[in-house]
Amino acid sequence: MNRMVTMLLISALFVSACGVKKMKTATDQYFTNPILAGFYPDPSICRVGDDFYLVTSTFAYFPGIPVFHSRDLVNWKLIGHVLDRAEQLDLEGLGLSRGIFAPAIAYHDGLFYLTCTLVDGGGNFVVTAEDPAGPWSKPAWQPEVDGIDPSLFFEKDGQAYFVYNSVAPDNAPLYDGHRTIRLFYFDKERLRVTGDNMILVNGGTDISKKPIWIEAPHIFKKDEYYYLICAEGGTSWQHSEVVFRSEKVTGPYIPYEKNPILTQRHLDPNRPNPVTCTGHADLVEIPTGDWWAVFLGCRPYLPEYEGFFNTGRETFLAPVKWIDGWPVINPDFEEVQYSYPLPLPERTKKAQVPYSGNFTLRDDFDSARLDPHWAFLRTPHEKWYDLADRPGFVKIRLLPETCSGKSNPAFIGRRQQHLKAFAATALDFQPQTENEKAGLLAFQNETYFYFLCKSVEDGAPVVQLFQSNDQKESRQPMTLLASQKIDAKSAGTLLRLRIVADGADYSFYYGFKPGKWQLLIDNVDGRFLSTRIAGGFVGSMFALYATSLGETTDQSAWFDWYEYRGDDDIYK
């Protein structure tokens, strides 16, 4: 693993239903939400003894499906990825918000199971591993399953069930968004669904009200009841979590009369520091007998309806209380809190690489292997980067492929994890032609990104900032927003690039000496990178990127280091 110089600015806020109430320090034994900041959506969790394992969606990023481990439910360590080999996951040609949807992790009798959907690919599959850090098996495809969001439930006697979101009965929806939750028996030896599927839920909690997008089902048993929790309402501001229960795993399932058990859709959109779009939850019982929920949520930076956010859907943690035989998430508050008491305070230790609160990260590329937190855009089928060629640098070969396409460009990205943050790097690159460009991306998807780079204009080196275009409306993938010539004295030295995000405002800097930044352009519209404008299911990435824009070249760029700092006001 690379040497990661990390600093966690430890602070926590206790936020009441009316807003910020009181500052809490580390000694007060509170944790901060989200527990996985940035683009970590659709969490699924399982417990094995004193250990917790959590996975999230990755869509068209590779490797697919990070596996996190924790012993305190709060501080997490990335221990591997489920789909880390090209033979397991080929994302070529897929849109960024397609690919890997909603993995679910389970454990039974010494073996870990993971179910998932490769949208626009092979469909639903199951993989297994003895060690959650890997290696995981090749996918066992489930062609009989017509739907998404599968998960497994195991009875104590070993009988297994495969539950998932599917089409309306007879594939004849009564309204837009009409879906069902269905169940197959599952043969855990052959890793195949068996028999005919059974409909557990038709439409949602009350089909007369035309509920939409019942999905993300998980079944668990407590006392004499089987509980089925699902997301409902779509993944935007109407998102929610609902619960049903039955005396038999195959139903009939009765909805809780006080559903939803989690939502924020009824709250004032102008409230301070809102958490929105909450849902897609999974529940876990901890060794104390208490229950907790992980779920996705979003943090808008503008107080407008639905809000704007660039960081994507993040993983939050909140307590669960059982009320009259039903689980309720965040029972003591209307608003999801930025801080709760630690679930297991005696176990809590600060994470080596933090995912919550304000922190600084730096990668000096001084290892033989690329740090596992970096992500590729789709599956690489050749190795176009190198860490050995020049110690302390990552060498990236310029590829003809671009981030505007649906192949694998020379792109190595890390998540934007805060509303207020910066990403910076130092670059050694000597472009020869105007199509050769290398630098730093602020990237939401194929048609919504900013590219701060070094290139050539009229035979002279320049720093440029480009904004992407919608290629349905323009033949040019990018528009030049700003350009600055590099003087002869600086042309052969390392070029430092810096992108600063401040909610809806992004600023772009360059320089040649440590700490000496020159502004290229400020007050660039960050809403352009928001989910509300760009669409899709992902979040913004800061990426090292090198391209020859469709041309063949033997040029490479060397990146000396990468630094990221998040500094959100809510954690100060």
Question: What torsion, rounded to 10 degrees, do the Cα atoms 264, 269, 274, 276 define?
Answer: 40
**Does some domain include residue 234?**
yes
Least confident of 17-26, 36-45, 532-541, 555-564: 17-26
Q: Please give the C-alpha separations between residue 122 and each of 22, 66, 117, 478, in angstroms, as whole numbers.
A: 50, 20, 8, 33
Give the chain's domain count: 2
Task: Say if residue 470 is in the same domain as residue 362.
Answer: yes
pLDDT band for position 265 (50/70/90)? very high
Task: Say if residue 153 is in the same domain as residue 265.
Answer: yes
pLDDT at 306: 62
Task: Say if residue 284 is in the same domain as residue 417.
Answer: no
Task: Say if residue 331 is in the same domain as residue 371.
Answer: no
Q: Distance between CA 316 and CA 201 in Å, rounded?
A: 26
**Does some domain include residue 414?**
yes
- Cβ atoms within 10 Å, residue 111: 11
Domain boundary among 347, 381, 415: 347
Task: Say if residue 337 is in the same domain as residue 365.
Answer: no
Domain boundary among 321, 347, 373: 347
Helix/strand/coil for 63: coil
Is the separation of the CB atoms in 124 and 103 below 8 Å?
no
Task: Say if residue 322 is in the same domain as residue 373.
Answer: no
**Does some domain include residue 26?**
no
CATH label of the domain that carries residue 517: 2.60.120.200
Q: Which residues are catalytic?
A: 42, 215
pLDDT at 17: 32
pLDDT at 504: 94
Q: Distance between CA 99 and CA 378 in Å, rounded?
A: 9
Q: Distance between CA 235 and CA 185 in Å, rounded?
A: 28
Task: Say if residue 363 is in the same domain as residue 331.
Answer: no
pLDDT tens-digit map of 223-254:
999 999 999 999 999 999 999 999 999 999 99
Q: What is the mean pLDDT of residues 283-304?
A: 94
**Does some domain include residue 353?**
no
pLDDT tens-digit map of 475-488:
688 999 999 999 98
Q: Distance between CA 30 and CA 13 in Å, rounded?
A: 8
CATH label of the domain that carries residue 297: 2.115.10.20
Q: Distance between CA 340 and CA 31 in Å, rounded?
A: 6
**Does some domain include residue 406?**
yes
What is the DSSP code (8-state) at residue 36?
Answer: B
Mean pLDDT of the residues in the chain: 93
User: Could you report how far apart the first and last alpha carbons of the chain are, in Å?
Assistant: 30
**Does some domain include residue 211?**
yes
Give me the domain span that covers residue 380: 358-571
**Does some domain include residue 13?**
no
Q: Distance between CA 238 and CA 231 in Å, rounded?
A: 10
What is the DSSP code (8-state) at residue 487?
Answer: P
Task: Say if residue 370 is in the same domain as residue 334.
Answer: no
Share of the chain above pLDDT 70, in %: 94
The backbone torsions φ and ψ at residue 534, rounded to the nearest 5 degrees and listed phi first, read -80, -20
pLDDT band for position 18 (50/70/90)? very low
Least confident of 12-26, 140-154, 344-358, 471-485: 12-26
Residue 215 has pLDDT above 50, yes or no: yes
Task: Say if residue 369 is in the same domain as residue 310.
Answer: no
pLDDT at 3: 38
Task: Say if residue 155 is in the same domain as residue 124.
Answer: yes
Residue 541 has pLDDT above 80, yes or no: yes
Residue 429 has pLDDT above 80, yes or no: yes
31: enclosing H helix or E strand: strand 30-32
Task: Say if residue 139 is in the same domain as residue 204.
Answer: yes
Task: Say if residue 453 is in the same domain as residue 489.
Answer: yes
What is the DSSP code (8-state) at residue 194?
Answer: E
Give the global pTM. 0.94
- Cβ atoms within 10 Å, residue 11: 17
